[in-house]
Amino acid sequence: MKIKKIRIQADCGDYLWSDLGLISVEDICKEDLAELDKQFKDWASEPDPFYPDFENFPWESFHKRGIALSIRLKSKINPEIYLYYRKTPDDPNYEIDETTDITEKMIKEQS
Protein backbone atom coordinates (compact mmCIF):
# COMPACT_ATOMS: atom_id res chain seq x y z
CA MET A 1 0.00 0.00 0.00
CA LYS A 2 1.63 3.23 -1.17
CA ILE A 3 0.03 6.25 0.46
CA LYS A 4 0.72 9.56 -1.27
CA LYS A 5 -1.73 11.92 0.41
CA ILE A 6 -2.90 12.16 4.04
CA ARG A 7 -5.61 14.25 5.62
CA ILE A 8 -5.64 15.06 9.32
CA GLN A 9 -9.24 15.63 10.42
CA ALA A 10 -10.80 14.98 13.81
CA ASP A 11 -13.78 12.63 13.82
CA CYS A 12 -14.83 10.98 17.11
CA GLY A 13 -11.27 10.08 18.10
CA ASP A 14 -10.13 9.18 14.58
CA TYR A 15 -7.83 11.55 12.76
CA LEU A 16 -5.71 9.97 9.99
CA TRP A 17 -7.24 9.53 6.54
CA SER A 18 -6.02 8.64 3.04
CA ASP A 19 -7.78 7.94 -0.24
CA LEU A 20 -8.21 4.42 1.18
CA GLY A 21 -10.15 5.73 4.19
CA LEU A 22 -9.12 5.60 7.83
CA ILE A 23 -5.47 4.54 8.29
CA SER A 24 -3.06 4.15 11.20
CA VAL A 25 0.37 5.64 11.85
CA GLU A 26 1.85 2.19 11.24
CA ASP A 27 0.65 2.49 7.64
CA ILE A 28 2.88 5.51 7.01
CA CYS A 29 5.84 5.27 9.38
CA LYS A 30 8.07 2.50 10.69
CA GLU A 31 9.13 4.60 13.69
CA ASP A 32 7.28 4.04 16.97
CA LEU A 33 4.82 6.91 17.18
CA ALA A 34 2.63 5.54 19.96
CA GLU A 35 2.88 8.71 22.07
CA LEU A 36 2.10 11.00 19.12
CA ASP A 37 -0.76 8.69 18.10
CA LYS A 38 -2.20 8.90 21.64
CA GLN A 39 -1.94 12.70 21.58
CA PHE A 40 -3.75 12.80 18.25
CA LYS A 41 -6.52 10.46 19.48
CA ASP A 42 -7.00 12.52 22.66
CA TRP A 43 -7.10 15.71 20.59
CA ALA A 44 -9.55 14.26 18.05
CA SER A 45 -11.94 13.28 20.87
CA GLU A 46 -12.03 16.69 22.57
CA PRO A 47 -15.17 17.98 20.78
CA ASP A 48 -17.21 14.84 21.51
CA PRO A 49 -18.60 15.88 24.94
CA PHE A 50 -19.97 19.09 23.34
CA TYR A 51 -22.11 17.19 20.82
CA PRO A 52 -24.49 18.45 19.43
CA ASP A 53 -23.87 22.03 20.67
CA PHE A 54 -20.43 22.90 19.30
CA GLU A 55 -20.97 26.68 19.44
CA ASN A 56 -19.13 27.02 22.78
CA PHE A 57 -16.23 24.72 21.92
CA PRO A 58 -12.80 26.48 21.73
CA TRP A 59 -12.28 25.80 18.02
CA GLU A 60 -9.37 28.20 17.46
CA SER A 61 -7.11 26.56 20.07
CA PHE A 62 -8.31 23.10 18.96
CA HIS A 63 -7.20 23.78 15.37
CA LYS A 64 -3.88 25.25 16.51
CA ARG A 65 -3.13 22.05 18.46
CA GLY A 66 -4.23 19.90 15.53
CA ILE A 67 -1.91 21.75 13.17
CA ALA A 68 0.98 21.52 15.67
CA LEU A 69 0.47 17.75 15.97
CA SER A 70 0.26 17.51 12.18
CA ILE A 71 3.59 19.30 11.83
CA ARG A 72 5.16 16.82 14.26
CA LEU A 73 3.78 13.92 12.23
CA LYS A 74 5.01 15.46 8.96
CA SER A 75 8.54 15.55 10.41
CA LYS A 76 8.38 11.76 10.99
CA ILE A 77 7.04 10.53 7.66
CA ASN A 78 8.34 10.29 4.12
CA PRO A 79 8.67 13.89 2.87
CA GLU A 80 7.10 12.84 -0.45
CA ILE A 81 3.76 12.23 1.28
CA TYR A 82 1.44 15.21 0.93
CA LEU A 83 -0.06 16.00 4.35
CA TYR A 84 -2.79 18.50 5.03
CA TYR A 85 -5.01 19.50 7.95
CA ARG A 86 -8.75 19.90 7.43
CA LYS A 87 -11.10 21.45 9.95
CA THR A 88 -13.93 19.21 11.10
CA PRO A 89 -17.37 20.17 9.78
CA ASP A 90 -18.50 20.22 13.43
CA ASP A 91 -16.81 23.63 13.63
CA PRO A 92 -19.54 26.14 12.67
CA ASN A 93 -16.87 28.16 10.81
CA TYR A 94 -15.02 25.25 9.21
CA GLU A 95 -15.30 26.69 5.70
CA ILE A 96 -13.08 29.64 6.69
CA ASP A 97 -9.51 28.49 5.98
CA GLU A 98 -10.87 24.94 5.79
CA THR A 99 -7.55 23.30 4.90
CA THR A 100 -3.91 23.93 5.74
CA ASP A 101 -1.04 22.32 3.85
CA ILE A 102 1.59 20.98 6.26
CA THR A 103 4.96 21.87 4.76
CA GLU A 104 8.65 21.33 5.39
CA LYS A 105 8.90 25.07 6.09
CA MET A 106 6.43 24.67 8.97
CA ILE A 107 8.61 21.91 10.45
CA LYS A 108 11.64 24.23 10.42
CA GLU A 109 9.63 27.06 11.97
CA GLN A 110 8.37 24.80 14.78
CA SER A 111 11.86 23.48 15.61
Dihedral in degrees, nearest 10, Cα atoms 18, 20, 23, 29: -70
- At residue 53, the pLDDT reads 87
What pTM did the predictor assign?
Answer: 0.92
- At residue 46, the pLDDT reads 93
Q: What is the pLDDT of residues 24-67, one digit of tens each?
A: 998 888 888 999 999 999 999 999 888 888 988 999 999 999 99
CA 30 to chain centre: 19
The span from the CA of 6 to the CA of 102, in Å, is 10
- At residue 1, the pLDDT reads 63
Residue 93 sits at the vertex; the CA angle it makes with 3 and 98, to the nearest 5 degrees, is 25
Task: Find, among 54, 57, 105, the residue nearest to 79 by Cα.
Answer: 105
- Asked whether the beta carbons of 21 and 6 are under 8 A apart, the reply is no
Q: What is the pLDDT of residues 62-95, one digit of tens each?
A: 999 999 999 999 999 989 999 999 999 999 999 9
106: enclosing H helix or E strand: helix 104-110
Residue 111 pLDDT > 80, yes or no? Answer: no
The span from the CA of 55 to the CA of 60, in Å, is 12
